[in-house]
Structure 1
């Protein structure tokens, strides 16, 4: 039975909701569904680990609900299947396979003072949390809304460095707010456990809290400073640490995993309680300045409308025609590719360098971190080079700057430092790709120097370079995941060689090219796979191409088996073809890849989305379906692309197969829906597939347009009868980056029949 006060509350929600929707004029943003990827496709698939919260393109603030408290494998903090929310934290990672961030959790709630103190000081302390349902939850770019406990309506929006909360409580309810610095990835993890090193919460005025936390998790010694401003005065507050209540204090500190919490109470009001949270990686003063510059005298609705407009501007760089389902899939994929990397610079230009010193780039300049490079070099960064030409110089310069401080380019950059995760130095290939594709605004001599330094000495967690020069391969008894490391680094060597050659550095070019071809030294023609060798030259045993664990002690491959790394030679496909006895031999191996089922049902925790041994849910497989173009069987590519799009993606919460990995799996989808894909990104060439859209226009930064028209496309007309560029029929199923940047018209003519 509803009370009169509940009707008033629902009416207030309707007023606020309608006023917001009337002011926000959406166009392309209406096609984005932030919930896509928030759940696994099935019990055997990896969770895609996306978050639905409020953020701006490449913004530092990513304000989103966390549905778990002690976060282990829910890397985004949110899973669709959950029914409780512990609060809303301000930093997240989208699609990653490992957890971190979740800074400054805030939760609105109600309750008596005595019950709150009892709960937060009990020996078996139950963390505050609220129930919710998806029927009372919504999200769009730059905005998130949910009704907690059927009582408190939560709305979130953001600027680059400031999170905005709007809480509408029921009439006659005393508003309470929890501020929790303890919320984090799990402290119980054996690998990469979270540790609170230092933290502070302080009431600095009737409307304001400030503080910081210094933590170690996936990123080492990570610093975040913040200021929190409330729209009305704090009526009362209670401080806690490690299940103890500290009365009569306005300052609480934390150390050694004993983290501070604060509960704040406010007077009843018919008006919503609004909160602004400014953050900085440098200082509390900078967090204040970020808030002042980005939020002062601005209403929640104004900020939401600005965030929506920012997303509209970025999404409109590609306009498409197609079914509503495909529009939702496409624009949601583009959206997820603009969540990372993140601009860590403060409003005044201050940045925190990897050695924990500070520098200033000047007001208005950007400095990026959060790079899942092993994943994103394949398609995310090629997509950004098409649509983010004005942003890419700052991204490339950030990688160079971080490399110069470290002494080598980052492998997996997180919050400005390297977490040493994954393999290969794919910042190399990203920088070289930008160079080959003509990006301006980079000191390319400086870029080449850090590339050369990165590739000519051992560093981080790999002794690859000295070992391969001594043995001609990376010995299994001297390394770990050596087969995949050799293949990944061979690609980066090739990238360095083409950059050196174009710059006139012939000696360097020859050195890197020669080493890039040493991948052939680990191809076993007897079994037809790349596999590790021992330092005495013998093959590592035992060997089973279906297994993921190598010899049981050290893995042979990274997140894959021999099948999934069989075609990881993007830079020398002709050479790979020769190892496989020509085009017919390579076609046969591709056929086997897509049809062979493991006799032992061997499954790796990082592999899913299987078609035979092809694993679309993980990155080493992503280019494989396009390889039939190289053996003159493009119709097989076209058939597979359609199969993958229809079976491994949809427009619902389980719409991504496997981890999205900061947009890479979504970038594959975006490219493939348009009809082309960068098999070898640094080559400047794209392989054609089977587009599912009717029309695409890429609005280039140089003022030109690249238009794609697809004739007779349907669910059955999946094969390409012919392709023309500016009216001239293409003789090969490939286009170049230069063709795109010059603008023009690419036309696909589709058919139900293939020419086999």
Structure 2
């Protein structure tokens, strides 16, 4: 009898394991979250991105007209196309676009003419699948993506005028109809947004193969049809193909593209789509997503946590979209890429569509900790970028663009290498980061270090030399800390090590004792006589002194000493949340969306919708009051993240704002990624299981966790009491069980001693 009981228990456990293994996590990841945006106010600034993790191509329904950068708006009522997109942000713009739209009746191709009414009631969006009913045409359109292609399925009514509009967009494009093969081939050169340096041969080649012969076709150029001409090239080109269809007939379009060549586009189509059915392509996409999403299993049966679960997997999905793989496979399966820097086709990996000003903070540390293979490949791409352009990327889309500040590629490289990613071309990467520390790009001030000569001479960037001087100084000082640690690890000369260590303290040169905050300085050493800590822009980047003064990730304890000690440091931290959300916009000449987003969220001067201040909540861990980090982390998670159309509180930014949420929901955050320590906050779920890359499992338990019990009574790691305010990389990577004992009252005895604080450069021995 006892044996039978054990057998039944074993069967139950096995069945539960199999069910968990088969669980579809994509149903919790919601692409429509945060798609309600406009120029004046961001609720994420994302579109429903249908594509595989890190894929070269993404796909999205398009509601925009005439090249509007907000290509999908939740408030819109018309669909203008199903679009191949590479847009990482509406502020950066898109490139390599292509769209298809099924219509019925008269042939129309301009967006304003071809668009169709739709409703969210008949729209389904998942990471691996999109479906919409186009009411004006009585057509249902579906798409399922691959890495470099897509399969679309259009369900038409009975008609002799079933059309598919193909739009290769503007700036110069080309289409060619091959009727005997039911194919459309061509290319688009379109790219927009910001100052970009792209080679003259930049093209996105595409192939579209239908499973049904055309009844007829009409190519178009700019605003007019040119008839049944098979080839057309010009500013904006496209074609409308027409079919005879029976009721509910499915017309299939198999699509792929390539930045290398037309032949490579054909190869990508054969390899990724081939003769697969729509169901097979969709299922492969679902498997690709579950490969990543299933590494994080939230086990929490509270009904009121379903929104948190959805938000968690939605944020995880957003993190896994970027950076984009900008490489392809040749006929022998070798990795090749078109270089958006020198226009050549070269071996090896390339990545793009990432702004390191945003993502160095948490997204890339997440890859290093949980997806080291991805991190290794990204570093390979960085080395190739340097070899091909002579510079590291700071914002790439697809090549270098002029936007944002800092040389934060140093943080990406140093934090990955120092935290275990060793099998990389570190000599090339070191040379690249070293060059960045002493030079600025001759055309793009966002690449390298603008104001670097003055910074290295004076210890700060003067505001009379270049705009955003204080923000640049603070970021360069952190980046110099990254260089210092990397130089140590690589056994560089004592002079090099000492130089970068000294520069890591340059943040002190901006400390304005009169205000206890950071401020811009003139090259003569004077602070601004008209300094206003509420003034946005000018010496700062998309923020003010209250938000940027905390950008001393390498030395929070040193910052606390500057401010007068831990007591005053805490008072200054508290003040961020207590002050009214006022702002001075004179430096911009207008109210920008980041100001409105700060003003409306109810957190005083804490502007979580933009990156520079996101780590600030965790600085209480360096001040002996970790319960305040716990409180504010939960406040932000609960109040500023919702799985709704307006779910984020600002720009999502290539996964960074999502990464803040994912880390914080697990209960810790990488304030200073290079060190490999994670400041402890307040876990969101009662239980999370994480499958680690080394095959081990990390289980995070938060006993008695609920909306009231946000504080930590105690922590144990593998049954050993842990009193410090941080975890180490080694602790997390060894797996095992982390137990948080949650309570409704702050434990003001735990984590109050300096020995419990995370690393600070000033305390380094």
Q: TM-score, normalised by structure 1?
A: 0.89
Match among 490, 501, 506 for residue 513 of structure 1: 501
**Given the superposition, is the C-alpha separation of residues 606 and 681 from structure 1 closer, same or farther in structure 2, using an over 3 Å criterion?**
same
Tell me, yes or no, if the aligned pair for 2:341 and 2:385 is still in contact at 8 Å.
Answer: no
In structure 2, the residue corresponding to 1:70 is in which secondary structure? coil
In structure 1, the residue corresponding to 2:698 is in which secondary structure? strand
Partner of 2:479 in structure 1? 492
**Given the superposition, is the C-alpha separation of residues 144 and 705 from structure 1 closer, same or farther in structure 2, using an over 3 Å criterion?**
same
**Given the superposition, is the C-alpha separation of residues 577 and 450 from structure 1 closer, same or farther in structure 2, using an over 3 Å criterion?**
same
Given the alignment of the two structures, is residue 704 of structure 1 paired with residue 696 of structure 2, yes or no?
Answer: yes
Match among 74, 81, 89 for residue 75 of structure 2: 81
Given the alignment of the two structures, is residue 585 of structure 1 paired with residue 568 of structure 2, yes or no?
Answer: yes
Match among 382, 386, 405 for residue 365 of structure 2: 382
Partner of 2:174 in structure 1? 200
Tell me, yes or no, if the aligned pair for 1:318 and 1:696 is still in contact at 8 Å.
Answer: yes
In structure 1, the residue corresponding to 2:685 is in which secondary structure? coil
136-145 or 351-360, which moves further after superposition? 351-360
Given the alignment of the two structures, is residue 422 of structure 1 paired with residue 419 of structure 2, yes or no?
Answer: no
Partner of 2:319 in structure 1? 337
**Given the superposition, is the C-alpha separation of residues 278 and 57 from structure 1 closer, same or farther in structure 2, using an over 3 Å criterion?**
same
**Given the superposition, is the C-alpha separation of residues 300 and 430 from structure 1 closer, same or farther in structure 2, using an over 3 Å criterion?**
same
Given the alignment of the two structures, is residue 289 of structure 1 paired with residue 267 of structure 2, yes or no?
Answer: yes
Tell me, yes or no, if the aligned pair for 2:157 and 2:246 is still in contact at 8 Å.
Answer: no
Partner of 1:130 in structure 2? 116
Tell me, yes or no, if the aligned pair for 1:546 and 1:598 is still in contact at 8 Å.
Answer: no
Given the alignment of the two structures, is residue 37 of structure 1 paired with residue 21 of structure 2, yes or no?
Answer: no
Partner of 1:147 in structure 2? 133
Given the alignment of the two structures, is residue 404 of structure 1 paired with residue 387 of structure 2, yes or no?
Answer: yes
Q: Deviations over 1:346-374 (max 9, x none)?
A: 1212211243332343xxx6432111211
Given the alignment of the two structures, is residue 49 of structure 1 paired with residue 45 of structure 2, yes or no?
Answer: yes
Tell me, yes or no, if the aligned pair for 1:642 and 1:718 is still in contact at 8 Å.
Answer: yes
After the TM superposition, which residues 667-706 of structure 1 pair with which residues of structure 2 at under 5 Å, given as runs?
A: 667-706=659-698
Given the alignment of the two structures, is residue 504 of structure 1 paired with residue 491 of structure 2, yes or no?
Answer: yes
Partner of 2:735 in structure 1? 743
Instruction: Quote how far apart the aligned CAs of 1:39 are.
Output: 1.6
Instruction: Quote how far apart the aligned CAs of 1:598 are.
Output: 4.1
Partner of 1:561 in structure 2? 544
Partner of 1:268 in structure 2? 245
Given the alignment of the two structures, is residue 69 of structure 1 paired with residue 65 of structure 2, yes or no?
Answer: yes
Instruction: Quote how far apart the aligned CAs of 1:45 are.
Output: 4.3
Given the alignment of the two structures, is residue 465 of structure 1 paired with residue 452 of structure 2, yes or no?
Answer: yes
Q: Deviations over 1:664-685 (max 9, x none)?
A: 1111111111101111111100
Given the alignment of the two structures, is residue 321 of structure 1 paired with residue 299 of structure 2, yes or no?
Answer: yes
Partner of 2:336 in structure 1? 350
Instruction: Quote how far apart the aligned CAs of 1:458 are.
Output: 2.5
In structure 2, the residue corresponding to 1:308 is in which secondary structure? helix
In structure 1, the residue corresponding to 2:85 is in which secondary structure? coil
- Determine the C-alpha separation between the residues in 1 that align with 2:74 and 2:88: 14
**Given the superposition, is the C-alpha separation of residues 153 and 576 from structure 1 closer, same or farther in structure 2, using an over 3 Å criterion?**
same
Given the alignment of the two structures, is residue 210 of structure 1 paired with residue 206 of structure 2, yes or no?
Answer: no
Given the alignment of the two structures, is residue 253 of structure 1 paired with residue 227 of structure 2, yes or no?
Answer: no
Given the alignment of the two structures, is residue 633 of structure 1 paired with residue 646 of structure 2, yes or no?
Answer: no
Instruction: Quote how far apart the aligned CAs of 1:563 are.
Output: 0.7
Instruction: Quote how far apart the aligned CAs of 1:172 are.
Output: 2.9
Tell me, yes or no, if the aligned pair for 2:197 and 2:341 is still in contact at 8 Å.
Answer: no
**Given the superposition, is the C-alpha separation of residues 744 and 690 from structure 1 closer, same or farther in structure 2, using an over 3 Å criterion?**
same
**Given the superposition, is the C-alpha separation of residues 751 and 601 from structure 1 closer, same or farther in structure 2, using an over 3 Å criterion?**
farther
- Determine the C-alpha separation between the residues in 2 that align with 1:474 and 1:686: 30
Given the alignment of the two structures, is residue 729 of structure 1 paired with residue 721 of structure 2, yes or no?
Answer: yes
Instruction: Quote how far apart the aligned CAs of 1:534 are.
Output: 1.4
Tell me, yes or no, if the aligned pair for 1:57 and 1:339 is still in contact at 8 Å.
Answer: yes
Given the alignment of the two structures, is residue 542 of structure 1 paired with residue 536 of structure 2, yes or no?
Answer: no
Match among 24, 28, 33 for residue 25 of structure 2: 28
**Given the superposition, is the C-alpha separation of residues 571 and 127 from structure 1 closer, same or farther in structure 2, using an over 3 Å criterion?**
farther
Instruction: Quote how far apart the aligned CAs of 1:110 are.
Output: 1.0
In structure 2, the residue corresponding to 1:662 is in which secondary structure? coil
Partner of 1:192 in structure 2? none
Match among 266, 271, 283 for residue 305 of structure 1: 283
Gaps of 5+ in 1: 1-23, 184-195, 550-554
Instruction: Quote how far apart the aligned CAs of 1:706 are.
Output: 1.6
Partner of 2:428 in structure 1? 446
In structure 2, the residue corresponding to 1:563 is in which secondary structure? helix
In structure 2, the residue corresponding to 1:215 is in which secondary structure? coil
In structure 1, the residue corresponding to 2:545 is in which secondary structure? coil
- Determine the C-alpha separation between the residues in 1 that align with 2:370 and 2:556: 28
Partner of 2:221 in structure 1? 241
After the TM superposition, which residues 147-226 of structure 1 pair with which residues of structure 2 at under 5 Å, given as runs?
A: 147-149=133-135, 151-172=138-159, 174-182=161-169, 196=171, 198-206=172-180, 207-218=182-193, 219-221=196-198, 222-226=202-206
In structure 2, the residue corresponding to 1:174 is in which secondary structure? strand
**Given the superposition, is the C-alpha separation of residues 584 and 299 from structure 1 closer, same or farther in structure 2, using an over 3 Å criterion?**
same
- Determine the C-alpha separation between the residues in 2 that align with 1:139 and 1:53: 9
Tell me, yes or no, if the aligned pair for 1:96 and 1:659 is still in contact at 8 Å.
Answer: no
Q: TM-score, normalised by structure 2?
A: 0.88
In structure 2, the residue corresponding to 1:400 is in which secondary structure? helix
**Given the superposition, is the C-alpha separation of residues 541 and 265 from structure 1 closer, same or farther in structure 2, using an over 3 Å criterion?**
farther
Paired residue total: 697
Instruction: Quote how far apart the aligned CAs of 1:278 are.
Output: 0.8
Tell me, yes or no, if the aligned pair for 2:169 and 2:190 is still in contact at 8 Å.
Answer: no
Instruction: Quote how far apart the aligned CAs of 1:472 are.
Output: 2.3
Q: Deviations over 1:487-530 (max 9, x none)?
A: 11111110010010111113211111111211211111112221
Instruction: Quote how far apart the aligned CAs of 1:246 are.
Output: 1.2
Given the alignment of the two structures, is residue 527 of structure 1 paired with residue 521 of structure 2, yes or no?
Answer: no
**Given the superposition, is the C-alpha separation of residues 399 and 43 from structure 1 closer, same or farther in structure 2, using an over 3 Å criterion?**
closer
Tell me, yes or no, if the aligned pair for 2:534 and 2:545 is still in contact at 8 Å.
Answer: yes
In structure 1, the residue corresponding to 2:594 is in which secondary structure? coil
Instruction: Quote how far apart the aligned CAs of 1:644 are.
Output: 0.6
**Given the superposition, is the C-alpha separation of residues 159 and 739 from structure 1 closer, same or farther in structure 2, using an over 3 Å criterion?**
same
484-493 or 236-245, which moves further after superposition? 236-245
Gaps of 5+ in 2: 1-20, 586-590, 749-765
In structure 2, the residue corresponding to 1:266 is in which secondary structure? strand
In structure 2, the residue corresponding to 1:90 is in which secondary structure? strand
**Given the superposition, is the C-alpha separation of residues 708 and 409 from structure 1 closer, same or farther in structure 2, using an over 3 Å criterion?**
same
- Determine the C-alpha separation between the residues in 2 that align with 1:534 and 1:705: 53
Instruction: Quote how far apart the aligned CAs of 1:456 are.
Output: 1.9
- Determine the C-alpha separation between the residues in 1 that align with 2:412 and 2:39: 34
Q: Deviations over 1:393-415 (max 9, x none)?
A: 11111012102322221110112
Instruction: Quote how far apart the aligned CAs of 1:71 are.
Output: 4.1
